[in-house]
Amino acid sequence: MEDLEERGVHFGSIRDPIDTSTPQGTFSLQVLGAIAQLERALIAERSKAGIKAAKARGKLPGNPGLRERRPEAIKAVSQAREKRYLDDLIVSAQTWLPVVRQLRPQHSWDNVVRVLNRRGHDWTVERLRRAVHRLVREKLAENELLGRSPRRAPEDL
């Protein structure tokens, strides 16, 4: 937040009365952050206590279905992981997909990654291609983005 404030950027919430351009708004956001931090610490504390109690009763921590390699448990975890990946991808796409749409397929994936990373992202060619493939498969991006970029003209020697 401090980095953004130094740049003159403020946060304003549409749904909540928080606007960091005012001292009250900054305070409100800090209080909410402290509450979230407390909640994370309490969850971690309860989890550790639960694991300790389970061990005292002779139980192993974790998902028994995964420990026993049950196909339905493995499938459920895999599906949850895929859903989380897609949800995160959709949320983040608003920051990088417009650039991809502007540059692809006229420019190579290397060039697109270079532009995105100059703008503060942290992409590799493989990760970006995989992300765009996934959005195309989900019909959230255009298939044309995956087209081949034109070959570069051979440089004269």
Q: How many Å from the N-terminal Cα to the C-terminal Cα in the chain?
A: 51
- 8 A C-beta contact, residue 93 and residue 138: no
Q: How confident is the model at residue 28 (pLDDT cuts 50, 70, 90)?
A: confident
Residue 23: per-residue pLDDT: 86
By the 8 A CB rule, do 32 and 21 touch?
Answer: no
Residue with the bigger pLDDT between 107 and 3: it is 107
Q: What was the pLDDT predicted at 4?
A: 64
- Per-residue pLDDT, averaged over 131-144, amounts to 96
**pLDDT: is 80 or 157 the higher one?**
80
Amino acid letter at 128?
Answer: L
**Better pLDDT: 144 or 14:** 144
